[in-house]
């Protein structure tokens, strides 16, 4: 079982559009990183390339849809059957 240094909300990460990667400062001075593709594939662990620390990335399914480029608007009912996709 993995021991996480911390749990961090995805909103607290910095996003690099060119690399499609999220970064969060590590205590060692480097950055934890996780790619957009990793998140789309259900990965929720960000690693630091300079030390052994790992963190758990917190994000929910609504955010996951946004990460995939789909934006949904809830219309009076949060049920998935009442979602309207907008581009």
**Residue 2: band (very low, low, confident or very high) from pLDDT cuts 50, 70, 90:** confident
In DSSP terms, 21 is beta-bridged to 16, 35
Q: What's the rounded mean pLDDT across residues 6-34? A: 95
What's the domain range around 37? Answer: 6-86
Q: What is the pLDDT of residues 38-63, one digit of tens each?
A: 998 889 999 999 999 999 999 875 55
Cα 17 to chain centroid distance, Å, stands at: 14
For residue 25, is it within any domain?
A: yes
**Residue 77: band (very low, low, confident or very high) from pLDDT cuts 50, 70, 90:** very low
Predicted pLDDT at 69 = 52
Predicted pLDDT at 40 = 87
Contact 87, 68 (CB under 8 A): no
Phi, psi of 81 (to 5 degrees): -80, -10
For residue 1, is it within any domain?
A: no
Distances (CA, A) of 31 to 3, 24, 50: 18, 5, 8
For residue 59, is it within any domain?
A: yes
């Amino acid at each position: 079982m993995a021991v996480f240094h911390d749990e961090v909300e995805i909103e607290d990460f910095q996003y690099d559009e060119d690399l499609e990667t999220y970064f969060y400062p590590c205590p060692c001075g480097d950055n934890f990183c996780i790619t957009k593709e990793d998140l789309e594939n259900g990965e929720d662990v960000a690693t630091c390339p300079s030390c052994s620390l790992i963190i758990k990335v917190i994000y929910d399914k609504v955010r996951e849809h946004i990460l995939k480029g789909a934006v949904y608007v809830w219309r009076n009912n949060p049920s998935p059957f009442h979602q309207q996709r907008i581009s």
